[in-house]
């Protein structure tokens, strides 16, 4: 069972670049969605377009879709930094696991 507190790098199999890239892009998409939230909250809906609970639901879906599209097209460059950090963390984890060789 995976512990919720265990970092993603500790859960992922070592050196799977596709999985690391996907995780980094998803992280960036979540970040971008959070950045877009105040922008979407400040928009007023024209009366002809409706409003209410349904609009709030679909507005959040649109916000999430925009964020995913932005992240897939390069976003703000956060995914590259996250991926590099995950690779560093995996390297540190593997170093800690491997037996230290000492030469006389």
Question: What are 37-81's pLDDT values in tens digits?
Answer: 998 888 777 766 666 777 777 888 889 999 999 999 988 889 999
> Phi-psi category of 87—alpha, beta or left, where left has phi over 0 and alpha has psi -120 to 50?
alpha
Which band of pLDDT confidence, cut at 50, 70 and 90, is reported for residue 1?
A: very low
Distance, in Å, from the CA atom of 14 to the CA atom of 10, rounded to the nearest integer, reads 9
In this prediction the pTM is 0.65
Distance, in Å, from the CA atom of 82 to the CA atom of 66, rounded to the nearest integer, reads 20
Q: Note whether residue 59 is domain-resident.
A: yes
Q: Tell the burial category of 75 from Cβ atoms under 10 Å away from its Cβ (0-12, 13-18, 19+).
A: buried
Q: Note whether residue 7 is domain-resident.
A: no
Residue 97 has pLDDT above 70, yes or no: no
Q: Note whether residue 76 is domain-resident.
A: yes
Q: Note whether residue 2 is domain-resident.
A: no
Q: Domain range spanning residue 84?
A: 12-43+50-89
Percent of the chain with pLDDT over 70: 67
Provide the number of structural domains found in the chain.
Answer: 1
Distance, in Å, from the CA atom of 54 to the CA atom of 74, rounded to the nearest integer, reads 31
């Amino acid at each position: 069972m995976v512990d919720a507190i265990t970092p993603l790098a500790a859960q992922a199999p070592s050196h799977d670049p596709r999985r690391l890239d996907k995780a980094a892009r998803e992280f960036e998409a979540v970040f971008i969605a959070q950045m877009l939230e105040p922008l979407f909250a400040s928009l007023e809906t024209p009366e002809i377009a409706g409003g209410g609970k349904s609009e709030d639901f679909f507005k959040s879906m649109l916000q999430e879709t925009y964020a995913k599209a932005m992240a897939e097209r390069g976003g703000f460059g956060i995914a590259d930094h996250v991926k590099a950090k995950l690779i560093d963390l995996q390297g540190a984890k593997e170093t800690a696991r491997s037996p230290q060789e000492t030469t006389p």
